């Protein structure tokens, strides 16, 4: 089993932090906020968007469908509305497999 670092879970992420996570522009995240009804980041008194971990997970699902599966935004919107939990499970499985592969590759290089 790979060594699992304990990640510090934050309550909110700023829009710039989320943009860096996904390597996208801030304007794209604003567009997705307006397009996808289920994506609803909180806003502070100044109007800055604050994304919860659930919002980040939802965005992972959107980017998985659009970037890796080749869905259009409209079809991704339908898929996220219908099968959101299934897609989140696929994304989590994919991330787990990637981290496992990285661990095994590192282990192989040490041998």
Q: Do 31 and 21 form a contact (C-beta atoms < 8 A)?
A: no
What does the block give as tokens for 17?
A: 């932090």
Domain boundaries, the chain: 13-110
Residue 37 has pLDDT above 90, yes or no: no
Query: What pTM was computed for the model?
Result: 0.75
Given this model, what pLDDT does residue 26 score? 94
**CATH architecture of the domain with residue range 13-110:** Orthogonal Bundle (1.10)
Lowest mean pLDDT segment, chosen from 8-22, 34-48, 77-91: 77-91
pLDDT above 70 for 48: yes
Dihedral of CA atoms 103, 7, 81, 87 in degrees, nearest 10, equals: 10
Which band of pLDDT confidence, cut at 50, 70 and 90, is reported for residue 8?
low
Q: How many residues are present in the chain?
A: 111
């Amino acid at each position: 089993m790979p060594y699992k670092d304990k990640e510090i879970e934050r309550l909110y992420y700023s829009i710039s932090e989320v943009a860096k996570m996904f390597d996208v522009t801030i304007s794209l995240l604003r567009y997705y906020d307006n397009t996808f009804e289920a994506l609803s980041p909180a806003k502070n008194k100044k109007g800055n968007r604050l994304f919860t971990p659930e919002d980040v997970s939802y965005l992972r699902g959107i980017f998985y469908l659009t970037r890796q599966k080749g869905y259009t935004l409209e079809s991704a919107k339908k898929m996220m509305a219908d099968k959101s939990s299934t897609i989140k499970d696929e994304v989590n499985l994919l991330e787990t497999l990637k981290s496992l592969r990285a661990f095994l590759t590192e282990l192989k290089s040490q041998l």
